[in-house]
Structure 1
Amino acid sequence: MVKEQLQGKNIVITGASGGIGAEIAKLSAARGANLVLLARSIDKLEQLQTRLEQNHQVKVDVFQLDVSDTEKVKEVFEQIFEKIGQIDILVNNAGFGVFREAHEATMDEIKGMFNVNVVGLMACTSMVLPRMRTRRYGHIINIASQAGKLATPKSSVYSATKHAVLGYTNSLRMELDDYNVQVTSVNPGPIATNFFTIADEQGTYVKNVQRFMLQPEYVAQKVVNSMLTKTREINLPRWMNMGSVAYVLFPRLYERIGKRLLPSK
């Protein structure tokens, strides 16, 4: 069913050079979708483009893009529309984190995380909204995080960006409800990708949660299966999402216990 839904559709994926972005691209191509892949590393994108076009009868275009450069976002998306016409699905996957206590985070790190994780996501979304509303068709998928529902020590800034993404996504969903445009937030726990090369310089967090880490292929499959369906949220793993429910119900108790028991970053 989903395979038929994606056949011939145009999917734009940011942060597509590796991790779950690349895995989403692979699975989407296997289901017959045409792709536009965006990332800062054009070399990696071109390598992925070659593999996907060789393995599947689909069209793959690539553009170098740092989503924090909002003028460049506008320029690239105008090129995309000129080249492929319409965008059916946008996957806002680009993002990064740095795990530090609030007083240790530099202003460059704070601005960098907000510019990529929040402003960049909004800039890309803004480029597709008018056409999706006019067509009354489309799907916007925002890769957020469990950190957007439940903050933990040493993730103050990163969690703030993901809280912002969830707030934006939830509002956007209501705005687009009458236009038949679907909006999905994806809230995974830690994923075994290069994300932690930057986020966890000392490697302590990865060591503590390694046995709980999600595989990028698994997360990507859940995302692709949700495309063009009325899926509000994807929470992975499900048991981890119970922590955010407990926090809403018993915030003071959770913070008292959580600050001691949550894995140290």
Structure 2
Amino acid sequence: MSSIELRGRIVLLTGASSGIGALAARLLAERGAVPVLAARSADKLAAVSAGIRGEHARYECDVRSAASVDETVARTLERFGRIDALVNNAGYGEFLSFEETELSRFEAMMDVNYMGTVRFCKAVYPAMKRAGAGHIVNVASIAGKIGTAKATGYAASKHAVLGFTNSLRQELRGSGIKISALNPGPIDTPFFDRADPEGTYKRNIRRFMMQPDTVALALVRLLETGKAERDLPLVSAAGAKLIQLFPVLTAGVAARLLNKK
């Protein structure tokens, strides 16, 4: 597959104040792209910005607010005149049993992980449609393909992101706008500070956890290749396919291997 030149491209990234978003922003800048960082924390955004060489921008933004999302997109368009790519990376998880998860926690995760993605796609779509070009990368998760215990709220939100991405891809056919999904397994990032505060899950799966720079590079490669989807690591990608093809046969094995929370 041919590589897309990133130099000079305006790439808007949500969740860019830490983890994968911050690392991807730096990688994009190194490739000559113009990363536009969006996140809630002004202090964290400033710290990430200080480590980026080359032209870039940063905006405080809350993906839970349509007004905040619209303002961020409008300011980006006002400054740069276009948005070549959008990376929907903002999200979080909480690993709790269904019984102890309050409805408000389900709603909050869906609001950030799923509706935050929808809000940004809606906001950038008109400009991309006018341009007849653009690329959207939605960072979902292997959890969007493989459900595990104590992840009912998180997995549901990522299933929603994947369903939305796959459906929107069909609507965008012939428009010049591409849409991709990145589905990583567990990554050693601050995500687990909230998802797994006691560290039980991290200890149980430590040998399977990916380093964040590996995932950030995979994200950038999706922008360069335009592929529809990327699952990683390879063992998770293979496992997801097996479980989807043979859900009954693999149920017991999957439970023993995956229910580590």
User: For 1:183-239, what per-residue CA distance to the aligned partner results, in whole angstroms no more than 9, with x for missing partners?
Assistant: 110000000000000001221110011111111111111111221533011110112
* CA displacement at 1:21 relative to structure 2: 0.4
The correspondence of residues 137-148 of structure 1 with structure 2, limited to 5 A, is 137-148=133-144
Contact 1:16–1:37 (CA under 8 A) maintained in structure 2: yes
Match for residue 45 of structure 1? 45
How far apart, in 1, do the equivalents of 2:203 and 2:253 lie?
A: 21
Do the aligned partners of 2:135 and 2:226 also contact (CA within 8 Å) in 1? no
Q: Secondary structure at the residue paired with 1:178?
A: coil
Residue type of the partner of 2:191?
A: F
* TM superposition shift of 1:83: 1.6
Residue of structure 1 in register with 2:152 after alignment: 156
Distance 1:59 1:191 in 2: 28
Q: Aligned-pair distance for 1:108? A: 2.3
Q: Match of 1:103?
A: 99
Per-residue CA shift, 1:120-153, capped at 9, x if unaligned?
1100011111221221111000000000001011
Work out which of the residue numbers 155, 168, 193 in structure 1 matches 2:164.
168
Does residue 61 (structure 1) correspond to residue 57 (structure 2)? The answer is: yes
Q: Does 1:26 align with 2:26?
A: yes
CA distance in 2, matches of 1:151, 1:126: 28
In structure 2, C-alpha distance between the alignment counterparts of 1:210 and 1:198, rounded to whole Å: 17
Number of residue pairs the alignment of both structures matches? 260
Q: SS of the counterpart of 1:11? A: strand
Structure 1 residue 253: deviation in Å? 2.5
Provide the secondary structure at the position in 2 that maps to 1:183: strand
Distance (whole Å) between structure 1 residues aligned to residue 251 and residue 260 of structure 2 = 14
- Matched letter for residue 98 of structure 2: A
In structure 2, distance between residues paired with 1:205 and 1:263: 9
**TM-fit CA distance, 1:169:** 0.5
Aligned-residue identity in percent: 42
If the length of structure 1 is used for normalisation, what is the TM-score? 0.94
Secondary structure of the residue aligned to 2:235 is helix
SS at match of 2:135: strand
Q: Give 1:194's aligned amino acid.
A: P
Q: What is the SS of the residue equivalent to 1:202?
A: coil
Provide structure 1 residue ranges, at least 5 long, that are not aligned to the other structure.
none
Q: Which amino acid aligns with 1:22?
A: A
The 10-residue stretch of structure 1 (60-69 or 251-260) with the greater mean CA deviation from structure 2: 251-260
Partner of 2:215: 219
CA contact (8 A) 1:192 1:213 kept: yes
Distance in 2 (alpha carbons) for counterparts of 1:261 and 1:61: 42
- Does the Cα contact within 8 Å between 1:189 and 1:214 map onto a contact in 2? yes
Contact 1:209 1:263 in 2 (8 A): no
Q: What does 1:88-237 align with in structure 2 at a 5 Å threshold?
A: 88-237=84-233
Give 5+ residue unaligned stretches, structure 2. none
Aligned to 1:86: 82
Aligned: 1:11 with 2:24: no
* 2:17 and 2:39 in contact (8 A); partners too: yes
Residue in structure 1 matched with residue 239 of structure 2 by the alignment: 243
Cα separation, 2, equivalents of 1:183 and 1:228: 12
Q: 2:10 is aligned with what amino acid?
A: N
For residues 225 and 176 of structure 2, the distance between their equivalents in structure 1, rounded to whole angstroms, comes to: 11
- Bigger mean CA offset, 132-141 vs 240-249: 240-249
